[in-house]
């Protein structure tokens, strides 16, 4: 039986002491690092979970765009807002609600359908991000109210872009239109 009181009275206790010190010096930081890595992975997974579980969208950017337009035609603005990236869904829900209240949802749908007819896939598209550009010519300037502020839109030739992002769940989401 090991007697801890007498172990250090002889030279045989020195290797045991060295072993204990080595375990403390190398083992504790190693285990602490493992624990911190586990915590970081857990937090990352919590943040990434909505992106893996989101199933609102199509297998292609064009399909997502068509689903978005169909939801608008059905006046289901809540569903329509879910076709946007998670960060923008709340903003688009409010915007689409305003369009519906002001009776301009039909005009917006028409504009979206016309846009799709003239857009061209951008050269900067990748496996996870795709954009489509389209030109718009405004003959006469106008004013619009955006987020409570009146903005003047001058006449001219504009290049606009619709951007789509592929989520880890495999669906394409609208990042910007």
What is the model's pLDDT at position 83? 97
Look at the domain 59-176 and name its fold.
Nuclear Transport Factor 2; Chain: A, (3.10.450)
Dist CA 138 CA 155 (whole Å): 5
Residue 20, class by beta-carbon neighbours within 10 Å (0-12 exposed, 13-18 middle, 19+ buried)? exposed
Work out the pLDDT band at 47, boundaries 50, 70, 90.
confident
User: What stretches of the chain adopt beta strand conformation (E)?
Assistant: 120-121, 129-138, 142-146, 149-153, 156-166, 172-176
Percent of the chain with pLDDT over 70: 89
Please tell me which residue, 130 or 140, carries the higher pLDDT value: 130
Best-predicted range by mean pLDDT (81-90, 100-109, 116-125) = 81-90
Work out the pLDDT band at 29, boundaries 50, 70, 90.
confident
Tokens (6 digits) for 132? 């489509």
Distances (CA, A) of 131 to 25, 56, 71, 128, 160: 53, 19, 21, 10, 10
Mean pLDDT of 44-68: 91
- pTM score of the predicted model: 0.71
Please tell me which residue, 145 or 11, carries the higher pLDDT value: 145
Residue 135, pLDDT > 80, answer yes
Work out the pLDDT band at 148, boundaries 50, 70, 90.
confident
Tokens (6 digits) for 128? 């996870």
Residues 6+ positions from 129 with CB-CB distance below 8 Å: 163, 164, 165, 166, 175
Mean pLDDT of 87-104: 92
What is the model's pLDDT at position 140? 81
Q: Where are the domains of the chain?
A: 14-43, 59-176
């Amino acid at each position: 039986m090991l007697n801890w009181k007498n172990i250090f009275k002889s030279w045989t206790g020195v290797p045991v002491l060295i072993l204990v010190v080595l375990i403390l010096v190398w083992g504790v930081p190693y285990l602490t690092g493992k624990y911190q890595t586990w915590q970081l992975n857990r937090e990352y997974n919590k943040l990434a979970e909505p992106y893996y579980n989101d199933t609102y969208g199509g297998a292609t950017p064009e399909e997502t765009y068509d689903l978005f337009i169909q939801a608008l035609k059905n006046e289901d603005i809540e569903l329509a807002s879910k076709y946007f990236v998670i960060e923008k869904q709340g903003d688009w829900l409010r915007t689409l609600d305003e369009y519906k209240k002001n009776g301009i949802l039909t005009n917006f749908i028409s504009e979206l359908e016309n846009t799709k007819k003239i857009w061209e896939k951008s050269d900067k598209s990748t496996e996870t991000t795709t954009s489509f550009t389209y030109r718009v010519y405004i003959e006469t300037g106008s004013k619009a109210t955006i987020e409570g502020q009146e903005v003047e839109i001058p006449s001219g030739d504009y290049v606009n872009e619709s951007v789509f992002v592929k989520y880890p769940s495999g669906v394409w989401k609208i990042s910007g239109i």
